[in-house]
Amino acid sequence: MSVPLDELLQTLLSAERAGVQVASASLRECQDPTLRPMLEQILAGEGESCRRLLTCMQHLGLQPNRQTGEFYARAMAIADLHERMAFIDRGQRWVIRKLQETLPDCADPTVRGELETVLRIHEENSVATPA
């Protein structure tokens, strides 16, 4: 594993917080009824991922950071909601890659189970997001 697990969990938690905020703000702006269900699914998935990452951190005795990842500012700088959705999907795929790199070396069954669920959530959300 190239990045220590504790560092990865903190980074992912910050990214997921940003994802919650982006999805929530995007939902408030959304006038396109075809995008609303996707944004609602992403919002739910990002929130669930935050909870699961916090479970991992609690299990490992780690104190979670309070940071929100830079993804929020970068995503919200994209005014066109369809373009923002494509950016959100790139964020989903980034999380997928990080988890796929980490899981083979994750020996802790609790952490592994939670991260496998976070991976599945992001895979499902990436498939649902229009390219």
CATH number at residue 64: 1.20.1260.10
**Full residue range of the structural domain in which residue 103 is found:** 5-128
Whole-angstrom CA distances from 118 to 53, 85, 89 are 8, 19, 15
Prediction pTM value: 0.92
- 10-residue mean pLDDT profile of the chain (131 residues): values are 84 95 96 93 97 97 92 95 94 95 94 98 83 54
Please give the tally of structural domains in the chain.
Answer: 1
